[in-house]
Structure 1
Amino acid sequence: MPSHISPARPRRLKEPLSPKLAASLTTGDLPDGDLEEDGTYTSTEFRGVDLTSRDADGVEFDGCRFVDTRFSGTAMRRGGFSNVELERCDLSGMTAVTTSMHRARVSASRLTGMTWSECGFKDVTFEGCRADLTGFRFSTFKNVVFRDCAMPEVNFQNADLKGVRFEHCNLAGAQFSGAQMEGARFADCVLLRISGVTSLRGVTIKSRDAQGLVYSLAGAMGITIEE
């Protein structure tokens, strides 16, 4: 079972993405305990299911709910999560390429070391998640919110983060080199030791958060700050 992750600032979670999502879901029962290649799973609840270290090619989940489900070490290609909820799940070490997540909510889950490269996220909320050392290189985000997440050393290199909101997140040591970030917003976040700080052109940052950027900005401009 995955570790429960406590958010930095606990708050009541919002209602599910769709009122129909939690109602009358079929309990997940996978043939031979595995995912079928190019398989599609709809209106299913996966509770306490172990899907670790799987190879999942072309797997689609639509209208599903995952609770205490483990995807750690699983490799996914050309997959999709649409209108889904993941609660207290373990995605640590999971890798995904050209996979999409649309209209989704991921809460109180462990994403440590997860790598989703060249993926697409639209209308997604990550809340109260542990996402240290997570990689989102070359991925595209639209209408995405990261809230109360621990994300030290997350890698957003060359990602499209236009309009993304980071609220109450620890982003110490985050990598933003080559990212597109116009319209992104940071509120009450830790922004120490950020790499690729010049990519933050066009973002909005609260004044108290900006203090953490001083050393990163100075380093990017070749300025030495003495005590």
Structure 2
Amino acid sequence: MKGARRPELRLPPLEPWTGGELEPDGDYDGVEFREADLAGQDGAGARFMDCVLTGCAVDEATLSRARVLDSVLTGLRGIGTDLAEATLRDVELLDPRLGGTQLHGAVLERVVIRGGKIDYLNLREARLKDVVFEGCVLAEPDFAGARLERVEFVDCALKEADFRSATLKDVDLRGAAPLEITRGLDRLSGALITPGQLLDLAPALAAEMGIRVGP
């Protein structure tokens, strides 16, 4: 199994964000957003290159089709952030506290998500390549229809995940504890799990295959 390639970030000197509103299709290059309140703002289609966002509020922020490149996002918090069809490439997302984040149809490449908790993460029809979930809690993530290649779960809680119609290649689930998959067990071809995880999933696998287990 091939391991995920992690981002290698070398950020330039940054200019502090001076406030105001995000702009649709805006261009933010080498900007530091610190404790910024971006809640409800519209940055659809914007490009963030070599940026740092620290402790920012992103409740109901519209960032659909945004491009986040070579950037570090630390301590983001918010409910209902819209990142549908966004591109995240060479990004570190650290200690997020997010709920209902919309990443359906998004492209994630060389992304590390470390620490924190994300509830109801919507990754339907997304493409994930070289992505690492490390030391974080994912509650009811939705990977339905997504394509995952070289994705690793390291010391990560994966609760009630949905993998319906997903395609997996070189996906390492051994570090997921607990590993709870409510839908899409038949799509785990291409994943690597431990013997213990197989035993834990056995009842659900039997039910998925219509096998009755009795004395």
After TM superposition, is the score higher than 0.5? Answer: yes
Q: For this pair of structures, how many residues does the alignment match?
A: 209
Shift of residue 99 of structure 1? 0.9
Q: How does 1:29-108 map to 2 (within 5 A)?
A: 29-30=18-19, 33-108=20-95
Extract unaligned runs of 5+ from structure 2.
1-6
Partners of 2:181 and 2:84 in 1: how far apart?
28
Q: What is the aligned partner in structure 2 of residue 26 from structure 1?
A: 15
Counterpart of 1:109 in structure 2: which amino acid? Answer: P
Partners of 1:197 and 1:73 in 2: how far apart?
32
Q: Deviations over 1:83-139 (max 9, x none)?
A: 000111114311122210000000111122111111100000000120121110000
Q: What is the aligned partner in structure 1 of residue 193 from structure 2?
A: 205
Extract unaligned runs of 5+ from structure 1.
1-15
Other structure's SS at 2:28 match: strand
Q: What is the aligned partner in structure 1 of residue 143 from structure 2?
A: 156
Q: What is the aligned partner in structure 2 of residue 168 from structure 1?
A: 155
Counterpart of 1:185 in structure 2: which amino acid? Answer: D
Does 192-201 or 177-186 show the bigger shift? 192-201
Indicate which of 198, 203, 208 corresponds to 1:220.
Answer: 208
Other structure's SS at 1:183 match: strand
**Contact preservation (8 Å) 2:163, 2:181:** no
**Contact preservation (8 Å) 1:176, 1:199:** yes
Shift of residue 166 of structure 1? 1.0
Shift of residue 53 of structure 1? 1.2
Counterpart of 1:66 in structure 2: which amino acid? Answer: L
Shift of residue 24 of structure 1? 2.2
Shift of residue 211 of structure 1? 2.6
Q: What is the aligned partner in structure 2 of residue 7 from structure 1?
A: none
Alignment RMSD: 1.8
Residue 171 of structure 2 corresponds to residue 180 of structure 1: no
Shift of residue 59 of structure 1? 0.8
C-alpha distance 194-167 of structure 1, shift in aligned 2 (>3 A): farther
Does 154-163 or 208-217 show the bigger shift? 208-217
| Larger fraction in strand | 2
Partners of 2:213 and 2:63 in 1: how far apart?
45
Residue 118 of structure 2 corresponds to residue 127 of structure 1: no
**Contact preservation (8 Å) 2:97, 2:116:** yes
Other structure's SS at 2:73 match: strand
**Contact preservation (8 Å) 2:23, 2:42:** no
Structure 1 segments (4+ residues) deviating >3 Å:
224-227
Q: TM-score, normalised by structure 1?
A: 0.86
Shift of residue 226 of structure 1? 5.4
Counterpart of 2:154 in structure 1: which amino acid? Answer: E
**Contact preservation (8 Å) 2:9, 2:90:** no
Partners of 1:218 and 1:168 in 2: how far apart?
26
Partners of 1:158 and 1:222 in 2: how far apart?
23
State, as a whole percentage, how many aligned pairs show the same letter. Answer: 26
